[in-house]
Amino acid sequence: MQVAESSAASALPGEVALDERDGTYLMRAIAWSRTGRERGNRPFGAVVVSDNGEVLAEAWCNGTETGDCTGHAEMMALRQVSPQVDRETLARATIYSSAEPCVMCAGAIFWSNIRRVVYGIDAVRLRVFRGKRPEQRDAELSCRDVFAASPHLIECVGPALIDAASAPHIGVWRP
C-alpha cells in the first residue's frame, strides 16, 4: 500500500495528534473554510505549504458563488500553485485541507505531485452533517484509496483537529 499513516497519539477516537507546524497550517485551512461559508459556499478550505514553510497557495470552496462544480478548496489552491511552482517543489510540499479530500481533489493532488496531505474532519464524520439528501452526498471512496493507487508514496495524515474542522459545518447542511 502506498499511503503512509501517522501513528501519533489521539485526542478523540480516530483522531491524529499533530505537531505545532501541522496544527498551525491546518487551522489556517479551517479558517479558510469559515471564509467560504461566510461567502455562501460550502465550508471547505485548503493551504499548500512548501517544505521550508512558505505558504504557496490558500483557498476556500467557491462553487456556490462561481457555479463551478469543481470549485473545491483543494482544486482552487492547486490551480493557484500549479502554474507557479515546479513539480519537484510540490513533491516536497504539504496540502492542508479542512476536510478529507474528495475523490476529485485526491486525484488532482496526485496529478500535482504533492506527496503529503493533512486533513481535518474525515469523510465519514462529514457525511453525518450532510445527511441523506442526494445533492449533498459524495462518492464514498476515501482519499486513502485514491492515494493507494499512486505509483509513489502519498503520506496521508488525518483526521485531525476534528472539533475545530467540524465547527464550520454546523447548521450548513440541510437534514
Pair type for strands 55-60 and 45-49? antiparallel
Q: Hey, which residues are catalytic here?
A: 74
Report residue 132 as a C-alpha cell.
441523506
Q: Is 108 exposed, middle or buried, given 0-12, 13-18 or 19+ CB atoms closer than 10 A?
A: buried
